[in-house]
Amino acid sequence: MDIYREELMDHFKNPRNYKKLPTPTKSVHESNPLCGDMIDLEVLVENGVIKDIGFSGAGCAISIASASILTEKVKGMRVKDAKKITKMEVAQSVNPDLTISRVKCATLSLSALHKALV
Amino acid sequence: MFDVAKVKSDFPILSREINGKKLSYLDNAATSQKPQVVIDAINNFYKNHNANVHRGVHTLSEEATAMYEEAREKVARFINARHPEEIIFTKGTTEAVNLVAYSWGRKNIKKGDTIAVTEIEHHSNIIPWQILAKEKNANLKVLSIDEEGFVTGSLQGLKPKIVAVSHASNVLGTIQEIKDISREAHLEGALVFVDGAQAVPHMKVDVLSLDCDFYAFSGHKMLSPMGIGVLYVKKEILENMEPYQVGGGMIKEVFFDRATYADIPGRFEAGTPNVSGAVGLGAGIDYLNRIGMENISEHEVGLLNYSLAKLNLVPGLKTYGPTDVKRRTGLIAFTLEGIHPHDLASVLDTEGVAIRSGHHCTMPLHNKLKIPATARASFYLYNTKEDVDALLYGIEKAERILKR
């Protein structure tokens, strides 16, 4: 089992969209009480499209890397499409070998995104 | 001392490989592994003696009852209780705290009374008291601890009705001076409830010398099955306590408008008890007695000295807990700069090393330490220096992969 593949570690060490937006249309805070991971996620939505997205926070490598991967994926996406992304898809895109306990880490950013797009 | 290699060979699971590596099981504070004799005792009960206990007059029922009550006597001797009927079997420590908070608490806690807990407690020794306090409009007073986890908050003038404190911490390993706390509490007119889940597996516990009024612990952390635990209550207190759960097995006489309850300890064991669990616990106690609790403590102190010396050399690694290894149990919580405990635990797993990561059910303590989570390695009698070396190797590996 190798959940810390190089590509994933690159997202952890150089997270994409790790930033605050100057004019977000929505900001949310989400946390995982089990491990204390927390994420602040901001979106700029215009005409039903995610124009920009940024996150910040503290967490394990899996949660940071998955937030990086997810934000990269949804930037420019239509809100109604982004809402359809499932936990399974995110976990798969992060690493198909994630064990059940680590799937929670990988999907923290998705929970935040869904909250932000309500 | 004892032969650790021989002890290790008594535990079938310890010969398992995890991810192609030898298992180094360092999650004993969560639950311990079980020796073959305990597995055999459970097996033997179901194979040869299974029947419901009490009241049955047939042979199997009498055998099962005798085995169940013999386990109770073993527990009483193990913690030096004066009478076996001071021992109540529960599901575990959590149920024991709930039992006391519900049964003793509802009868004795009144509006405006004070219940004292400490900052170091496990959630299970906080929430039952918190709910009781809310229900009764009583005050929940939190006694402060120092850096090493020792209770410093004074009881003087507080006049609490009960003081709930853990004997040993599941995060810092801190062994509290229960004797002193009992003396101070009794001077204030309070009773003392001790959560001994992390103490009984690792050291000689004598409830008479601690002079506590309640003492609770779990079987599964001391080589025995899950789902069996113990609540010790001083006889004169227990006799005046109301039932916790009600139903079969705990009554004397039942009419539709009233019922009278059984004598202690049956009054507190409604329903069919976990007989195989109790029998397994008896076998676990026999095993621990053969090794000797003093020897187990000494073995853990040796592992603590060895691992603390090495861990404290790792740059960016911070260990928590008392500096005096004689005043702590065999566990070490630590943080590693820049690496989340969950990631560390995942990497260690690839090396066959099992540790725990998170807040270990002590969010208030972690808030006090100002850290969201820690990694925790916890030892037991079958652990060796090789297990510690595997831990250290895994930490190096985690740093190679995860250091930014």
Peptide bond into B265 cis (omega under 30): yes
A-chain residues near B359 (CB < 8 A): 35-36
Of residues B363 and B122, more confidently modeled: B122
Query: What pLDDT, on the 0 to 100 scale, is given for residue A6?
Result: 87
Record: contact A62-B359, CB cut-off 8 A: no
d(CA A17, CA A55): 6
Tell me the CB-side half-sphere exposure of residue B136, using CA atoms within 13 A: 24
Backbone angles phi, psi at B377, to 5 degrees: -105, 125
Least confident of A52-56, A96-100, B40-44, B148-152: A96-100
Nearest CA in chain B to A105: B342
Average pLDDT over residues B208-225: 98
CA distance A62 to chain B (A): 8
Report the candidate in A26, A30, A28, A31 with the shortest Cα–Cα distance to residue A52.
Answer: A26
Q: Which of B252, B214, B248, B254 is nearest to B234 (CA)?
A: B214
Beta bridge partners of A46: A49
Residue with tokens 């199997």: B60
Strands B114-118 and B139-143, by their bridges, are parallel
Find the range with the poorest average confidence among B43-47, B139-143, B273-277, B367-371.
B367-371
Distance of CA A13 to the CA centre of its chain: 15
Set of chain A residues whose Cβ sits within 8 Å of the Cβ of B341: 35, 60
Q: What pairs with residue B207 in β-bridges?
A: none
Q: Using CB atoms, which residue from B342, B350, B404 is nearest to A13?
A: B404
Note the pLDDT of residue A53. 98
Half-sphere exposure of B71 (CA within 13 A, CB side): 29
- Residue A15 near chain B (CB below 8 Å): no
Encoding tokens for residue B97? 């705290």
Subunit contact B343:A60, Cβ cutoff 8 A: yes
CA–CA min distance B340, chain A (Å): 5
Minimum distance, in Å, between the CA of residue B50 and any CA atom of chain A: 37
Q: What is the pLDDT of residue B377?
A: 98
Q: What is the mean pLDDT of chain B?
A: 96
3-state secondary structure of B41: helix
Confidence at B111, pLDDT banded by 50, 70, 90:
very high
| Pairwise CB contact (< 8 Å): A36 & B358 | yes
So where are chain B's domains?
A: 4-30+292-398, 38-289
The tokens describing B32, both together, are: 């311990």
- The answer, for A82 touching chain B at a CB cutoff of 8 Å, is no
Encoding tokens for residue B115?
């219940």
Cβ neighbours of A105 in B, within 8 Å: 342
Looking at beta carbons, which residues of chain A come within 8 Å of B342?
35, 60, 62, 102, 105
Interatomic CA distance for residues B307 and B247, integer angstroms: 50
First to last CA, chain A: 36
Interface of B with A (CB under 8 A): 19, 340-343, 346-347, 349-350, 357-359, 366, 372-373, 401-402, 404
Is A88's Cβ below 8 Å from some Cβ in B? no
The CATH number assigned to the domain holding A17 equals 3.90.1010.10
- Per-residue model confidence as pLDDT tens digits over B66-83: 999 999 999 999 999 999
pLDDT band at B16 (very low <50, low <70, confident <90, very high): very high
Mark yes or no for CB contact B358/A35 under 8 Å: yes
Nearest to B281 by CA among B226, B233, B329, B232: B226
CATH topology of domain B4-30+292-398: Aspartate Aminotransferase, domain 1 (3.90.1150)
Residues of chain A with pLDDT under 70: 1, 34
Protein fold of B38-289: Aspartate Aminotransferase; domain 2 (3.40.640)
Interface test with A, best of B339, B342, B368, B402 (most A CBs within 10 A): B342
Within a domain: residue A1?
no
The whole-angstrom separation of Cα B261 and Cα B250 is 6
Nearest CA in chain A to B19: A1
Is residue A2 less than 8 Å (CB to CB) from chain B? yes
Residues of chain A in contact with residue B362, where contact means CB-CB under 8 angstroms, are: none
B4: region left, alpha or beta (phi > 0 left; psi from -120 to 50 alpha): alpha
Residues of B designated catalytic: 361
Q: Report percent pLDDT > 70 for chain B.
A: 100
Identify the three-state secondary structure at position B83: coil
Query: Which of B186, B193, B178 is closest to B128 using CA atoms?
Result: B193
Task: Report chain A residues whose CB lies below 8 A from the CB of B366.
Answer: 36
- β partners of residue B216: B195, B231
B358 contacts in chain A (CB < 8 Å): 34-36
Q: Give the nearest chain B residue to A60 (CA atoms).
A: B340
- Could you tell me the two tokens for B197? 């889940």
Domain that includes residue A93, residue range: 6-116
Task: Say whether residue A100 is in contact with chain B using an 8 A CB cutoff.
Answer: no
**pLDDT score recorded for residue B251:** 86
Closest of B228, B206, B202 to residue B215, by C-alpha: B206
Tell me, yes or no, if A12 comes closer than 8 A to chain B by beta carbon.
Answer: yes
Contact B368, B380 (CB under 8 A): no
Contact B404 A12 (CB under 8 A): yes
Into how many domains does chain A fold?
1
Rounded alpha-carbon distances, angstroms, from residue A85 to A49, A92, B119: 15, 12, 42
**B47 Cβ contact partners less than 8 Å away, ≥ 6 residues apart:** none
Mean pLDDT of B346-374: 92
Say yes or no to pLDDT of B185 above 80: yes
Q: Which residue of A has its CA nearest to B349?
A: A1
